[in-house]
Structure 1
Amino acid sequence: MLRVRRIYDDALPVNKEELRQVKEILRSRFSVTDEKEIESIGEKLRNPFKQRFRTILFVAESVKERVDGFAILLHEPLLSFTYLDWIAITAKRASSGIGSVLYERVRQESAALKVKGLFFECLPDSETFCSEPEILQENSARLRFYEQYGARPIVNTAYETPINPDDSCAPFLVYDGLENKKPPSKTFVRKAVRAVLERKYSDICSPEYVDTVVSSFNDDPVQLRPFLYVKPEVASNTVESRSTEQIAVVVNDRHDIHHINDKGYVESPVRVRSILKELDKSGLFVQIKPRHYANHHLHPVHTSDLVGYLKNACADMPEGKSLYPYIFPIRNKMRPPKEKSVLAGYYCIDTFTPINRNAYPAARRAVDCALTAADEVLNGRRIAYALVRPPGHHAESGAFGGFCYFNNSAVAAHYLSGYGRTVVLDIDYHHGNGTQEIFYRRDDVLTISIHGHPSFAYPYFSGFEEEKGEGEGEGFNLNIPLPESVDGVKYRRALQKVLERVEAFNPAFLVVALGLDPAKGDPTGTWSLLAKDFQENGKMIGALGLPTIVIQEGGYKTRTLGINAMRFFKGLSLAIQRWADSRHPVKSKIQGIAYRYEVEEADLERVAKLASRTGFFSAEEVDVAVELVQERLEKGDASGYNFIIAEHYGRLVSYTCYGAIPCTQSGHDLYWIVVHPDYQGRGVGKSILKETEHAIRSGGGERIYADTSQRLQYASTRAFYENNGYLQVSLLPDFYGPDDGKVVYCKNLLKQ
């Protein structure tokens, strides 16, 4: 079965592997393609507007993780057009129809983006433009294929003019109006052609060539070549609607064995049935069977003592009986109690979470569901939902409680953290004390909880605003305790605050611990959120555009449970799709940057990693950066090197190295300014540069010099200096190598 999948980034392991195969297809099928262009695909996905186009990559898979073909579509949202950059099939699958499937997917995407037209290049099928008979037949076949969709070359222009006079077979510019049969206007096409030539071909097209080609579009509307291969009435202009990617839902198929009939026990099997009933009607979900995962996935999150206790204690309980703790001793790891009811209190944090025969197998299967959902996202899905009970966010590393035995969200988050920075966003009415405790000393998982204030809401002893993490985890735990009375508007104010913190953390994955107990009338809560509020919350979270795993936590008003869940996922799904379809710059500047002015021993390794991560510096240059840190550590001020280190919640995100220029009265050199790629374009570089200038001015400095390469790769660096008031004062041609000059900038600090 052929599957066409969009790849959003090169961060996920599956995406890295499939992107590697895409590059190999390009190398094998288009051997003349510049290697730099091939290697830049991943960067274009990460930084979609570096070329001022948004890069959209589709891969065709017939077997999991085997790429049989791909298409790269460029989207220009301001001018409202798309450009098919590449479409290629492996040699073994060349006649399999994969090209048709990919092109139809490209048309669907273009139509969904509501562009005015789709452009692409196709080699000519006419001897007038190409004198190589062996390829004319192949070119004719391609143009015949595109004519089936009404796509034809634009004629009466100079687009086919070779860039170099000795070249031949310059391509036609082909236009596909999608569902619009009318030719486009001259003004629109001129803007689109200029954008393509100046951005995609900037390294080979001179300004004069671009002006000549653009001005050659004189027909208004432009003229399309008459149909040569297909009768006009046969050509299909219709575009099928793009199908919404289904959300993977992993249901705990053993949840109903955990059925406590005791009075007041609201965590019942009807909860899952109520939600599933609404999901099944929507068509938005596809059920995935949970897979089994070994216990070693539990051990980084829960102590072996707790895991062993739950397994053995549950197995020892008679069928239909429950054991509740009635005493909670001060825990002494060397002397655990032996009496069963007392031992339950040793591991439990409350009096209403029982031990019974089916608690362990049900909770263990919920962990499998959470990990299955995580793997679905690692394999390329944007949203996966673990619909589980019992819930998990109250379970700590060594204790259970709050209806929770194992912390499903924490297990999934730890698993995902091996592939990238992860956020757990807990939107249950009750504080996720277990998740907080598990990650409290870690900086690779940001934990956030919006909940009822512990002065009145379970678990009472955690969830205060001042609990922000410890050690390496300081600043990576955020609690937003809210008052007893909260409606949708008040809730969204709090949610907006935490989403800004999520964006600043710049995670690879988002785990949402979904509590539906903020709903109006929930028996365990006091808030009054309605179905429309859950949808708005989903929209706000989905606007982050992150690969998202949703794991069910609380929510006990079964009459509205399914509706509220469905509305949340409707908002989440629509917002993520809207994010994928739109230009999405960072919404806010980075807040919370802390500066220090002395290097530490740990900075030797941190500076090396940061400089390497940027991709701008050679291995030799990285070694030099580390040597300067070492000199500062050994010699202090006598080294002549001063540093400013910028950290964001303990993470090194930028640094500068500067020093006085010997034999000058007040000149200083800016030797290094480095910004982590995750923080570029977010005001960090400008901020640390201002901090550096202030330090130099405070020390009596009057001028600061900075130099960089003349190469195209450093165009953004030169623009950065110029945008911050630096003037070019000299250019040393061929300083670093042939055609690689040294550009020197200066800023007079006294004139600021």
Structure 2
Amino acid sequence: MFRIRKVPDARAPANRVAVAEAQEILRAQFPGMNPGEIDDLPVKLEDPFAQRFVAELFVAEDARAHVRAAAVLLYDPELAFAFLDMLSVSPKVKAGSGIGGAVYERLRLEASELGAQGLYFECLPDDPEQSPDDDIRKQNIDRLRFYEQFGARPITGTAYETPLKPGDTDVPHLVFDGLDRHDLPDAGRLAAIVRAILERKYGDLCPPDYVEAVVASVRDGGYALRPPRYRKAGAPKAPLGGPRLIPLVVNDRHDIHHVRERGYVESPVRISAILGELDASGLFARQEPQHYPDHWIREVHDPRLVDYLKTACAEAPENTSVYPYVFPVRNATRRPKERSVLAGYWCIDTFTPINRNAWPAARRAVDCVLTAADAVIAGASGAYALVRPPGHHAEYRTFGGFCYVCNCAVAANYLSRYGRVAILDIDYHHGNGQQDIFYERPDVLTVSIHGHPSFAYPYFTGFKDETGRGAGAGFNLNLPLPESVTPDKYRDTLEVALKRIDEFAPDFLVLSLGFDTGRGDPTGTWSNRAEDFRKIGARIAEVGLPTVVVQEGGYRIRTLGTNARNFFTGFAGAAGPVRDKRRTTSAAPARRVWRTTLQPEDPAQIRALVAATDRFSAEEIAIAEELAVERIERGRASGYEFVLVSDGNRLAGYTCYGRIPGSETSWDLYWIAVAPALQGKGLGAQLMARTEDAIRRAGGMKVYIDTSTGPAYAATRVFYARQGYHLAAEFPNFYRAGDGKAVYTKNVTAPE
């Protein structure tokens, strides 16, 4: 069993491992390739301008997440073509495993969804006069036979196979795969594509006169696809694939958790009401839940809570529910011994029971959400975990609100190995579970639209001023609304939430989906109807993020299924290929905007930028934000000056500096930070140059910079040295034992 996924960069932990393992496979299978081509793979993934291609890495991973095959796809949005750069299976994989074919099928689908009007690649020749070595020619025949089953064949009638040196053999064909819908382009466009391949891919090998000769050979009526050699006449081609259906993972054990007490609205009929509408929609493909280990739960919940739930549920009397009735808040360190009394130690309310089936049902829900998470990791634009019991009220060390395990938090934490994650909670009630679990983490943004806690459960969280703490400050957004809200007002608030998510620029979205915002819901007071849910689903899909949708509330059975069907009709209708933040139709990067004046949103963006560098402590991150706030409040009297640069709406980098008190000519550089994706590309040097120029114009003569002598700051010290700074002093053990302070200085009286 294996899964195929796209690796967008080498920053997230799981992506770094995947890129490294893919490089090992490519080095082993392409020993004659320039090593730099493979070594530079991480840079190519993040910089679409390096070769004027958007590079995409796909890997096939086994059950242990080890890479067993790798492929690199290049895409040119201007010429609208894709180029298969490399595709290789690990030497450890047995022949006939089918992995290579599965990866190529995924590449064809990706190229089609990108809008490519054809997939091009190179294959060595299968004719004896062009490939005289029998063993090599046999391998070439096998490859061309493999690709021909998909309809891909060499282009004949051009000079593409011309040797660079007389007598060279095994010069590759240029192969074209029309992706089941495109013919070879006209001569002008094909010539442009050939030029792009030769100049961008092989510019260091192909001299200009060679490129011009090959391009000139592409003439109207002179080229064609070679007739099939290996596929029998009339044999069907391997299909590209039909519509992308939404993976649907249903908790097949939810109904064992059936609390029959009067008024308990979280009942099994909720799932059947939704499925009755969704099964007839034609939008979904069912997937069986896979089993995942408990450690994914323990990473977001107090292990003692997990142990209690497992044990207490297993020991509960048959057909009996135990409700908390004593809450030992006065001395939390002295836990009660009796199970029924201990329930109040872990629970936040009096209506979420412990019973024999609560834990098994909640545990299976976790398997469902992680199965859905793996579906989006593998390339689905969205996947739906239809589960109960719900989860978004379960905090790190408490359960409640019908919730035992915070399903969205488990999914978000799981996805965080592969990139940044945003959680959007659109249930009527505040998503206190996600907020609590990620309150001090900057890699997961939590956003919740909900009824104000002055009247809505859980009453004690969800206030607007709860924005995160420590490294997580600024990464929690609560949008509480009044009891009476029109659908238009609700969607206006949704726009605020989506704007914050866009600023965060996540790689994945986890949607905590509640239909209790619907008209007539017994637990809510708002008035969204079926058409409003359709608009909400469409708007969320338009964001273009791979989305794990997790079912939470919604208790009006009469309209529950209709609202769900309309939400996903909107979601599926607006969903397209997953947004690639690097992709652009222009060959030049977006224009950067430089400024020295702070804007109201800058302190939060500075905090997020500094936290994202993963270099500073929580205290240092807070100080960076405080300096910006002080500058806004006090102006130049604060003593702090700034140089900032933005890419679009996002802060790309900044410096904070100021005159040293008591000195007329000496200045301190307090902060310099560059967004991780832009580091190593010269932006830091530009920031330094602009800052030094501002200091010089203000009469400054010298700049001083303090930094750590620790190994983690070695690259920082090298950067300062490259900018012309020299070490002026060093103070051992200044910050802590073994960590000293280094002071660098530079004379800026004249350009250096």
Label 1:546 to 1:475 Cα distance change in 2 as closer, same or farther (>3 A).
same
Equivalents in 1 of 2:569, 2:310: separation in Å?
38
1:606 alignment counterpart? 615
Unaligned 5+ residue runs, structure 1?
609-641, 661-665, 705-745
Q: Which residue of 2 aligns with 1:291?
A: 291
CA offset digits 1:480-503 (Å, max 9, x no partner): 112334455433332332233233
SS at match of 1:579: coil
CA shift for structure 1 position 245 = 6.4
Deviation at 1:463, TM superposition (A): 1.5
- Conserved 8 A contact 1:468-1:475: yes
Q: Are positions 1:402 and 2:401 aligned together?
A: yes
Q: CA deviation at 1:38?
A: 1.7
- Match in the other structure for 2:461: 462
TM-score (norm 2): 0.71
Partner of 2:118: 117
Rounded Cα–Cα distance in structure 1 between residues aligned with 2:486 and 2:604? 39
> By how many angstroms is 1:408 displaced?
3.0
Deviations 1:560-616 (A, max 9, x none): 32343344455556666522689746999999444999xxxx9999279xxxxxxxx
1:95–1:346 distance in 2 versus 1, CA, 3 Å: closer
Change (3 A) 1:133 1:275: same
Partners of 2:172 and 2:461 lie apart in 1 by 66
**Distance change (3 Å), C-alpha of 1:24 and 1:398:** closer
Inter-CA distance 747–437: structure 2 relative to 1 (3 Å threshold): same
Aligned to 1:711: none
- Residues 507-544 of structure 1, C-alpha deviation per residue, up to 9 Å, x if partnerless? 45433222121223322222233344434434444455
Letter in 2 for 1:465: K
In 2: Cα distance, 1:386 partner to 1:113 partner: 27
Work out whether residues 700 and 749 of structure 2, in 8 Å CA contact, stay in contact via their aligned partners in 1: no
Helix, strand or coil: the match of 2:510?
strand
| Deviation of 1:187 (Å) | 1.4
1:620: which partner in 2? none
Letter in 2 for 1:192: I
> What is the alpha-carbon distance in structure 2 between the residues aligned to residue 193 and residue 97 of structure 1?
31
What code does the residue aligned with 1:422 have?
A: V
Identical aligned residues as a percent: 51
How far the C-alpha of 1:185 sits from its partner, in A, is 0.8
- SS of the residue corresponding to residue 390 of structure 2 reads coil
Q: Which amino acid aligns with 2:55?
A: T
Residue 83 to residue 415, structure 1, CA distance change in 2 (3 Å): closer
- 1:415-445 Cα offsets, whole Å, 9 max, x none, are 5546654333211111122332333333343
Cα distance change on mapping 1:181 and 1:238 into 2, 3 Å = farther
Contact 1:183 1:223 in 2 (8 A): no
Amino acid at match of 2:387: V
**Structure 1 range deviating more: 21-30 or 105-114:** 105-114
1:580-599 paired onto structure 2 within 5 Å: 584=583, 592-594=601-603
Is the 2:427–2:449 Cα contact (8 Å) retained in structure 1? Answer: yes
**Distance change >3 Å, CA 188–CA 319, structure 1 → 2:** same
Q: Distance in 1 between matches of 2:408 and 2:478?
A: 17
Residue 114 of structure 2 contacts residue 577 of structure 2 at CA under 8 Å; is this kept in 1? no
Q: Tell me what 2:72 maps to.
A: 72
Question: Does 667-676 or 140-149 show the bigger shift?
Answer: 667-676
Q: Which moved more, 1:331-340 or 1:101-110?
A: 331-340
Question: Separation in 2 of the partners of 1:398 and 1:90?
Answer: 44
State the SS of the aligned residue for 1:436: helix
Q: Cα–Cα, structure 1 residues 605 and 63, in superposed 2: closer, same or farther, change >3 Å?
A: closer
Residue of structure 1 in register with 2:476 after alignment: 477
Aligned residue in 2 for 1:551: 550
Cα deviation, 1:374-431, whole Å, max 9, x if unaligned, reads 5666677665544332222223344443223343333444455466543332111111
Query: CA 1:6 to 1:372, structure 2 compared with 1: closer, same or farther past 3 Å?
Result: closer
Whether the aligned pair in 1 keeps the contact of 2:266 and 2:555 (CA below 8 Å) is yes
The alignment partner of 2:38 has SS state of helix
The residue that corresponds to 1:190 in the other structure is: 191
> What residue is the counterpart of 1:88 in the other structure?
88
State the SS of the aligned residue for 1:537.
helix
Taking structure 1 as reference, are residues 470 and 556 closer, same or farther at Cα in structure 2, changes over 3 Å only? same
Q: CA deviation at 1:467?
A: 1.6
Q: Is the 8 A contact 2:297 2:405 kept in 1?
A: no
Instruction: Find the aligned partners of 1:399 and 1:459 in 2 and give their Cα distance.
Output: 12
Q: Is the 8 Å Cα contact of residues 518 and 526 (structure 1) preserved in structure 2? A: yes
- State how many pairs are aligned: 662
| Contact persistence 2:546–2:578 (CA under 8 A) | no
Change (3 A) 1:670 1:135: farther
1:216 aligns with 2:217: yes
Counterparts of residues 165-564 of structure 1 (less than 5 Å)? 167-179=168-180, 183-217=184-218, 219-224=219-224, 227=227, 229=229, 234=234, 239-242=239-242, 244=244, 247=247, 249-251=249-251, 253=253, 255-281=254-280, 282=282, 284-289=284-289, 291=291, 293-294=293-294, 297-298=297-298, 301-302=301-302, 304=304, 319-322=318-321, 331-333=330-332, 348-356=347-355, 358-367=357-366, 369-370=368-369, 373-374=372-373, 383-417=382-416, 420-564=419-563
| CA distance 1:700–1:136, shift in 2 (3 Å) | same
**In 1, are the aligned partners of 2:247 and 2:375 still within 8 Å (CA)?**
no
The 5 Å alignment of 1:651-730 reads 654=653, 675-678=674-677, 692=691, 695-696=694-695, 699-700=698-699
Residues 677-707 of structure 1 show CA distances to partners (whole Å, capped at 9, x for unaligned) of: 3367999879956972674255236999xxx
After TM superposition, give the deviation of residue 65 of structure 1 in Å: 5.0
Is 1:26 paired with 2:26?
yes
Q: Secondary structure at the match of 1:175?
A: strand
Q: Which moved more, 1:28-37 or 1:239-248?
A: 239-248
Classify 1:702/1:121 alpha carbon distance in 2 versus 1 (closer, same or farther; 3 Å). Answer: farther
The residue matched to 2:403 in structure 1 has which SS? coil
**Amino acid corresponding to residue 122 of structure 1 in structure 2:** C
What letter matches 1:527 in structure 2?
Answer: W
Aligned counterpart, 1:715: none
Cα distance in 2, alignment partners of residues 593 and 462 from structure 1: 26
Q: Secondary structure at the residue paired with 1:480?
A: strand
Shift of 1:170: 3.3
Paired AA for residue 173 in structure 2: F
Match of 2:631 in 1: none
| Secondary structure of residue in 1 paired with 2:394 | coil
Q: CA deviation at 1:159?
A: 2.8
Deviation, structure 1 residue 555: 0.9
- Structure 2: which 5+ runs fail to align? 594-598, 618-640, 660-664, 704-747
SS at match of 2:332: coil
Matches of 2:208 and 2:237 in 1, distance apart? 35
Give yes or no for contact 1:595–1:645 (8 Å, CA) kept in 2.
no
Q: Kindly report the root-mean-square deviation, in angstroms, between the aligned alpha carbons of the 2 structures.
A: 5.2
Taking structure 1 as the reference length, what is the TM-score of the superposition?
Answer: 0.71
Secondary structure of the residue aligned to 1:276 is helix
Contact 2:362–2:404, Cα closer than 8 Å, also in 1:
yes
Once the 2 structures are TM-superposed, how far is the Cα of residue 20 of structure 1 from its aligned partner? Answer: 4.5
In structure 2, do the counterparts of structure 1 residues 158 and 488 end up closer, same or farther at CA, with 3 Å as the change threshold?
A: farther
Is this contact kept in 1: 2:283–2:572, CA < 8 A? Answer: no
Give the partner amino acid of 2:388. R
Q: How many angstroms apart in 2 are the aligned matches of 1:486 and 1:317? A: 42
Q: Kindly tell me: are residues 514 and 151 of structure 1, through their superposed partners in 2, closer, same or farther at Cα, counting changes over 3 Å?
A: closer
Q: Which has the higher contact order (CA 8 A, sep 6+)?
A: 2
State the distance in 2 between where 1:569 and 1:557 align: 18
The aligned runs of 1:643-654 (5 Å cut-off) are 654=653
Report deviation, 1:447.
Answer: 1.8
Deviations 1:696-721 (A, max 9, x none): 255236999xxxxxxxxxxxxxxxxx
SS of residue in 2 equivalent to 1:435 = helix
The residue type equivalent to 2:291 in the other structure is: R
2:191 alignment partner, SS class: helix
For the 8 Å contact 2:612–2:675, the answer to whether it is kept is no
Amino acid at match of 1:27: R
Cα distance in 1 for residues equivalent to 2:313 and 2:260: 17
With over 3 angstroms needed to count, the CA separation of the structure-2 counterparts of 1:472 and 1:110, relative to structure 1, is closer
Q: Structure 1 residues 274, 546: CA separation in 2 closer, same or farther (over 3 Å shift)? A: same
